[in-house]
Amino acid sequence: MNSVISMKCSHYDVSLVRERLEEALQQLGGIEKFMKPGSKVFLKVNLLTGKKPEEAVTTHPVVVEALAGLLVEAGMQVIIGDSPAGPFLPGRMKQIYGLTGMKSAAEKAGAILNENMNVVKAVHPEALRLKEFEYLEAVQQADHVISLCKMKTHSMTLMTGAVKNLFGTMPGLTKAALHFRFSNIEDFSHAMIDICEYTKPVLSVMDGIEAMEGAGPSAGDVIRRNVLLVSPDPYQLDVIACRWMGIDPDQVPLVRVAAGRQLFIGGKEPIDWQGAEPDVERDRPFKTPLIHEPDFLKRYHSFPLLGNVAETFSNRYLRPQPRVLEASCVGCRECYVICPADAIDMKQERPSFDLQKCIRCFCCQEICPEKAIVIHQSAFLKLFHP
Ligand code: SF4
Ligand code: SF4
């Protein structure tokens, strides 16, 4: 059985969230169906960067506390962790755990925060792109992993949910390097799915009470959807999350690639979905970033000369572009450090982008603490957007 359970939940009250999660887990057969008491469980939360819970960038600590509490009471040893964007270092993690509310959530639930910074090599011969990769030892050592993600739009992958959340099982800046290695969205989606297939989360839970729309995953706006989603299947959960966000799942590259790899047990449609449904009258669709480059110029890219012209035109007018809001930038250089394509130069303490080198991964926007990087969409791009 691979059901997705959706539970209405209107606010971040720990008793309410706990009650809803417990009910969802009961409908799926109870926690004991997925793990035995005494198991070591890694709760892979989304801690993209050090933001306060109300900014909806990270998994809300009340949801973390409620789920961790249920697991601890069922006899599990619970470790809460993630490898955020940027360097994976003890001091930085301590700061992020404090800012995002994870420290207090772990204390109240009787869980522990991951302090193991060791990295191991994951070997995954069945993978289609990532047969070997760096991986967090703490995740490797767990008996089970739960993907405890946040409902958000994403400037590169359109939406981020249970599958993309597992990218944070790779340490620090290796994630940015992976963007460079798989700069094509199809390849990148395969790589994300390889990580998901290697991790094999026993459960996925999405915090969609407050979500993010627009320039996600870190620079968008908060939008309420008042829902918690729970499923043993991360792929199906992401499809149902799309419904709640008002996004066509077929527009999401990760969903398309997962469907092509036949990872939806019983097919992508219809999904066995139980519980609350979005109110399409009341809940308008999320504002989404434009992630598509129109295809018609791509066919010229392989031609000499014409290819260069097409690519230059495409880079300038048909692909989304990172731009800096000079007044907001504080010159911290975090964007410069994370850029995997060496496409950023710091000029007078402000980033300057080389659009020919830029692979449109938008790691720079993700990591910017000041929301000083915006994704510019030309009138041409908007014209050709599907
Ligand atoms: S990360 Fe943001 S604030 Fe820091 S230098 Fe880059 S644009 Fe400026
Ligand atoms: S400039 Fe930004 S979007 Fe472009 S490659 Fe660098 S980090 Fe990615």
Q: Token pair of 144, please? A: 């089970």
> For residue 307, what pLDDT is reported?
64
Claim to verify: residue 136 and residue 264 sit in the same structural domain: yes
Q: CA-based angle 296:302:303, to the nearest 5?
A: 95
**Ligand 2 lined by 362 (C-beta under 6 Å):** yes
Helix axes of 253-260 and 185-199: crossing angle, nearest 10 degrees: 70
The band of 292, judged by pLDDT with boundaries at 50, 70 and 90, is low
Range of the structural domain that residue 334 is part of = 295-384
Residues 321 and 180 in one domain: no
Residue 34 belongs to a domain: yes
| CA-only gyration radius of the chain, Å | 20
pLDDT score for 272: 73
Write the CATH number for 70.
3.40.50.11440
Q: How far does residue 323's CA lie from ligand 2's centre (Å)?
A: 10
Residue with tokens 């469980």: 41
Residue 300, pLDDT > 80, answer no
Task: Collapse the DSSP code of 196 into the 3-class scheme (helix H, G, I; strand E, B; otherwise coil) and give the result.
Answer: helix
Give strand pairing partners of 350: 347
Least confident of 137-146, 176-185, 346-355, 372-381: 372-381
Determine which residue's CA is closest to atom 6 belonging to ligand 1. 335
* Same structural domain, 319 and 253: no
pLDDT tens digits for range 250-265: 999 999 999 999 998 6
Burial of 44 (0-12, 13-18, 19+ CB in 10 A): buried
Shared domain for 13 and 104, answered yes or no, is: yes
Same domain, 315 and 271: no
**329 CB less than 6 Å from ligand 1?**
yes
Asked if residue 136 belongs to a domain, the reply is yes
Q: What is the pLDDT of residue 283?
A: 86
What gap in Å lies between CA 65 and CA 108, rounded to an integer?
A: 7
Q: Identify the pLDDT of residue 383.
A: 67
Chain CA centroid to CA 35, Å? 25
- pLDDT at site 72: 98
Question: So what's the pLDDT on residue 379?
Answer: 72
283 falls within a domain: no
**What is the rounded average pLDDT for all residues in the chain?**
92
Q: Which of 49, 324, 363, 376 has most ligand 1 atoms within 8 Å of CB, for mutation?
A: 324
Residue 314 DSSP class:
I
Same domain, 268 and 370: no
The DSSP call for residue 239 is H
- 374 touches ligand 2 (CB under 6 Å): no
* Joined tokens for residue 211: 């979500």
Q: Residue 386 above 60 pLDDT?
A: no
- Residue 286 belongs to a domain: no
| 126 and 164 fall within a common domain | yes
Q: Provide the pLDDT for residue 268.
A: 65
Residue-wise pLDDT tens digits, 168-207: 999 998 999 999 999 889 999 999 999 999 999 999 999 9
Q: What is the number of domains present in the chain?
A: 2
DSSP state of 267: -
Does the pLDDT of residue 213 top 90, yes or no? yes
State how far the alpha carbon of 96 is from the alpha carbons of 28, 149, 256, 338, in Å: 33, 16, 33, 17
- Mean pLDDT score, 377-383: 71
**pLDDT class for 270, splitting at 50, 70, 90?**
low
Same structural domain, 141 and 173: yes
Burial of 313 (0-12, 13-18, 19+ CB in 10 A): middle
For ligand 1, atom 3, the nearest C-alpha belongs to 329
The answer to the question of residue 281 being in a domain is no
Q: How far is the CA of 351 from the centre of ligand 1 (A)?
A: 7
Q: Residue 146: is its pLDDT beyond 90?
A: yes
* Cα 289 to ligand 1 centroid, rounded to whole Å: 20
Q: Are 141 and 187 members of one domain? A: yes
Tokens standing for residue 366: 């993700």
- Is 280 inside a domain boundary? no
- Confidence (pLDDT) at 303: 63
Using CA of residue 230, residue 31, residue 20, residue 42, what is the dihedral sign?
negative
Residue 323 CB coordination number (10 Å): 14
Q: What is the DSSP letter of 220?
A: S
Give the count of beta carbons closer than 10 Å to the beta carbon of residue 208: 28
Cβ of 86 below 6 Å from ligand 2: no
- Is residue 141 within 8 Å of 77, Cβ to Cβ? no
| Residues 118 and 237 both lie in one domain | yes
Average pLDDT over residues 306-314: 69
For the Cβ of 366 lying below 6 angstroms from any atom of ligand 1, the answer is: no
> Is residue 358 in contact with ligand 2, taking CB distance under 6 Å?
yes
The answer on 310 and 248 residing in a single domain is no
The full length of the chain comes to: 386
In the block, residue with structure tokens 């963007």 = 179
Q: Is 332 in the pocket of ligand 1 (CB under 6 A)?
A: yes
**Do residues 331 and 262 both lie within one domain?**
no
- For residue 344, give the ligand 1 atom closest to its CA: 6
- Could you give phi then psi for residue 48, rounded to 5 degrees? -40, -45
Domain presence at residue 289: no
pLDDT at residue 385 is higher than 70 = no
